Structure 1
Amino acid sequence: MSGTPSSAGDRLVRVGAIVFLVGALATVATMAPLFLGADPLPAPAYFVCMLMGAGFVIAGAGVLRSIAAGRRQARSAR
Structure 2
Amino acid sequence: MTATPSAPGDGLVRVGAIVFIVGAVATLVTLAPLFLGTEPFPPVAYGVCMLMGVGFAIAGAGVLRSVAAQRRAAKSVMPQSSGMS
Same fold (TM over 0.5): yes
Q: 1:58 to 1:38 in 2, by over 3 A?
A: same
| Matched ranges for 1:14-53 at <5 A | 14-53=14-53
Gapped regions of structure 1 (runs ≥ 5): none
Quote the RMSD (CA, aligned, Å).
Answer: 1.0
TM-score, length-normalised on structure 1?
0.96
Gapped regions of structure 2 (runs ≥ 5): 79-85
> Match of 1:74, SS?
helix
Distance in 1 of aligned mates of 2:35 and 2:74: 52
**Could you say which structure has the higher helix fraction?**
1
Shift, 1:68, TM fit: 0.1
- Number of equivalenced pairs: 78
TM-score, length-normalised on structure 2?
0.89
Q: Rg: which structure is higher?
A: 2
Shift, 1:2, TM fit: 4.2
